[in-house]
């Protein structure tokens, strides 16, 4: 087996960080050909791991870290990465692509957290991040900081709230790793979905069927979340703000009214209960409000509208006061926010009852 070209960065490192240039180069120079990778018995384990990577992102929310003792395991791990990308690209489902990207980024973040500081800085420079360590803390050039935290919405990430000295942002390890995770996530998502081919579809037919089946069952599980009693204090910050604005008679934008109504319906409020909330506004007009609400909840159009996701909320300027839960990579919908809060609260309640 030919050793990797850069002794500073081992095969094990490439297996852990397969999206970096060194790893791509190694795959190209030292790896099997495309045909060998997808057909040869020698690479059966890499194909198996590729499928496992995808299924784990669906079932566990992240790719689980594997034991990487020995070059054979390291190569299998490394070559399983392009296989996983072929599989998610061939299914071609946006939700799967998003979940896969986040699942890989979660694994990488866990790997980085386990590394020594020197290794973390080497990785950071491979990610083109202007960073170093000063006075025991990680620092990042402010322009790189701004670029890397673009998607982090809570105020704790705003530049004005950072320890900024001489154009550099000082950070503890946990926050620095979070920034690296953001960079990694955008690199992993680049080029996805990749073009697929008849050969790939044919060769991976059974793997693709299994992934599609799992994807459907995850979707069904998500739809079956029982919202139970509606608890407004567990609403996401955006909905709390819209709700408060509505009650205080603020003139909500069309998008704001729409998002709030569709959200309230989704979490289990009846048409009458929604009307009662809108009734509290000083400019309340029962006919107009009923018409709008009935339209959104599907009584007029026959189509029940889903509340918009976080990206749309942000575009419409109604993603208010995002908090640390909003900052989680996988958080992409106000309904997900609410259902997580509900689940946590139910769990706390059960634990309390058990203790009593
Ligand atoms: S991130 Fe999403 S859930 Fe959080 S406030 Fe913005 S829109 Fe609401």
Mean pLDDT confidence for 322-350? 84
Q: What is the pLDDT of residue 295?
A: 78
User: What is the DSSP track for 266-312?
Assistant: HTT--HHHHHHHHHTSTT--HHHHHHHHHHHTTTTTS-PPPPP-HHH
* Higher pLDDT, residue 66 or 62: 66
Report the alpha-carbon distance of residue 336 to residue 326 in Å, rounded.
10
Distance 333 CA to ligand 1 centre (A): 7
- Ligand 1 pocket residue status of 38, Cβ below 6 Å: no
HSE-CB at 307 with a 13 A cutoff on CA atoms is: 27
Report the alpha-carbon distance of residue 248 to residue 265 in Å, rounded.
21
- Ligand 1 pocket residue status of 322, Cβ below 6 Å: yes
Report the alpha-carbon distance of residue 103 to residue 100 in Å, rounded.
5
Task: Judge residue 8's burial from the number of C-beta atoms within 10 Å of its C-beta, 0-12 exposed, 13-18 middle, 19 or more buried.
Answer: exposed
Pocket test for ligand 1, best of 150, 151, 152, 153 (most atoms within 8 A of CB): 153
Domain locations in the chain as residue ranges: 11-111+197-221, 117-187, 232-355
Q: What is the pLDDT of residue 356?
A: 61
Q: Kindly report, residue by residue over 181-212, the tens digit of the pLDDT.
A: 999 999 999 999 999 999 999 999 999 999 99
Share of the chain above pLDDT 70, in %: 89
Task: Judge residue 349's burial from the number of C-beta atoms within 10 Å of its C-beta, 0-12 exposed, 13-18 middle, 19 or more buried.
Answer: exposed
Q: Would the pLDDT of 43 be above 70?
A: yes
**Which atom of ligand 1 lies closest to the CA of 322?**
5
Six token digits for residue 269: 């409020």
Residues 231, 243 contacting (CB under 8 angstroms)? no
Residues 6+ apart with CB under 8 A from 301: 295
Mean pLDDT confidence for 10-31? 94
Nearest CA to ligand 1 atom 2: 310
Q: Which residue has the tokens 């087996």?
A: 1
Closest CA to 213 of 59, 65, 336, 62: 59
Mean pLDDT confidence for 57-65? 87
Q: What is the pLDDT of residue 276?
A: 82
- Ligand 1 pocket residue status of 46, Cβ below 6 Å: no
Report the alpha-carbon distance of residue 95 to residue 24 in Å, rounded.
26
Distance 310 CA to ligand 1 centre (A): 5
Nearest CA to ligand 1 atom 1: 326
Distance 233 CA to ligand 1 centre (A): 15
Distance 188 CA to ligand 1 centre (A): 24
Mean pLDDT across the chain, nearest whole number?
88
Q: Would the pLDDT of 136 be above 80?
A: yes
- Ligand 1 pocket residue status of 241, Cβ below 6 Å: no
Q: Kindly report, residue by residue over 233-247, the tens digit of the pLDDT.
A: 999 999 999 998 887
Distance 8 CA to ligand 1 centre (A): 42
- Ligand 1 pocket residue status of 334, Cβ below 6 Å: yes
Q: What is the pLDDT of residue 177?
A: 94
**Which atom of ligand 1 lies closest to the CA of 332?**
2
* Higher pLDDT, residue 253 or 17: 17
Distance 96 CA to ligand 1 centre (A): 21
Q: Would the pLDDT of 7 be above 70?
A: no
Q: Would the pLDDT of 292 be above 90?
A: no
Q: Would the pLDDT of 224 be above 70?
A: no
Distance 237 CA to ligand 1 centre (A): 7
Report the alpha-carbon distance of residue 129 to residue 225 in Å, rounded.
40
- Ligand 1 pocket residue status of 103, Cβ below 6 Å: no
131 forms beta bridges with 140
Q: What is the pLDDT of residue 60?
A: 81
Residues 193, 92 contacting (CB under 8 angstroms)? yes
Q: What is the pLDDT of residue 282?
A: 65
Distance 200 CA to ligand 1 centre (A): 38
Q: Is the peptide bond before 193 cis (omega within 30 degrees of 0)?
A: yes
Q: Would the pLDDT of 114 be above 80?
A: yes
Mean pLDDT confidence for 209-224? 81
Mean pLDDT confidence for 158-166? 94
pLDDT-derived band at 289 (thresholds 50, 70, 90) equals confident
Nearest CA to ligand 1 atom 8: 238
**Which atom of ligand 1 lies closest to the CA of 337?**
3
Nearest CA to ligand 1 atom 3: 334
Q: What is the pLDDT of residue 252?
A: 83
CA 348 → CA 53, 230, 345, 356, distances in Å? 32, 17, 5, 13
Pocket test for ligand 1, best of 150, 244, 322 (most atoms within 8 A of CB): 322
Distance 315 CA to ligand 1 centre (A): 11
Six token digits for residue 26: 């190694």
pLDDT-derived band at 272 (thresholds 50, 70, 90) equals confident
Closest CA to 178 of 342, 13, 327, 8: 327
DSSP state of 322: -
């Amino acid at each position: 087996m030919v050793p990797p070209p850069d002794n500073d960065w081992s095969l094990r490192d490439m297996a852990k960080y397969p999206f970096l240039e060194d790893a791509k180069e190694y795959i190209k120079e030292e790896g099997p050909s495309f045909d060998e990778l997808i057909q040869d018995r020698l690479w059966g384990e890499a194909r198996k791991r590729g499928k496992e990577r995808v299924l784990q992102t669906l079932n566990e929310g992240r790719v689980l870290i594997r034991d990487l003792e020995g070059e054979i395991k390291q190569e299998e791990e490394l070559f399983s990465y392009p296989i996983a990308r072929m599989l998610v690209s061939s299914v071609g489902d946006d939700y799967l692509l998003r979940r896969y990207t986040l699942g890989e980024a979660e694994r990488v973040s866990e790997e980085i957290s386990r590394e020594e500081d020197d290794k973390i800085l080497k990785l950071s420079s491979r990610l083109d991040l202007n960073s170093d360590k000063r006075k025991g803390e990680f620092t990042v050039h402010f322009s790189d900081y701004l670029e890397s935290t673009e998607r982090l919405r809570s105020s704790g990430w705003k530049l004005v709230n950072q320890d900024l000295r001489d154009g550099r942002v000082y950070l503890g390890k946990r926050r620095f790793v979070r920034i690296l995770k953001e960079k990694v996530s955008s690199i992993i998502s680049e080029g996805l979905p990749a073009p697929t081919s008849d050969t790939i579809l044919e060769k991976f037919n059974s793997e693709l069927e299994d992934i599609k089946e799992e994807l459907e069952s995850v979707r069904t599980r998500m739809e079956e979340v029982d919202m139970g009693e509606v608890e407004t204090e567990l609403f996401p910050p955006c909905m709390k703000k819209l709700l408060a604005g509505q009650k205080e008679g603020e003139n909500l934008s069309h998008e704001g009214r729409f998002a709030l109504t569709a959200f309230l319906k989704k979490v289990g409020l009846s048409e009458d209960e929604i009307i009662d909330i809108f009734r509290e506004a000083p400019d309340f007009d029962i006919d107009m409000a009923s018409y709008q609400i009935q339209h959104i909840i599907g009584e007029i159009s026959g189509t029940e509208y889903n509340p918009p996701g976080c990206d749309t909320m942000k575009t419409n300027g109604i993603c208010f006061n995002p908090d640390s839960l909003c900052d989680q990579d996988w958080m992409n919908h106000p309904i997900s926010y609410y259902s997580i809060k509900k689940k946590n609260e139910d769990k706390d309640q059960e634990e309390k009852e058990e203790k009593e």
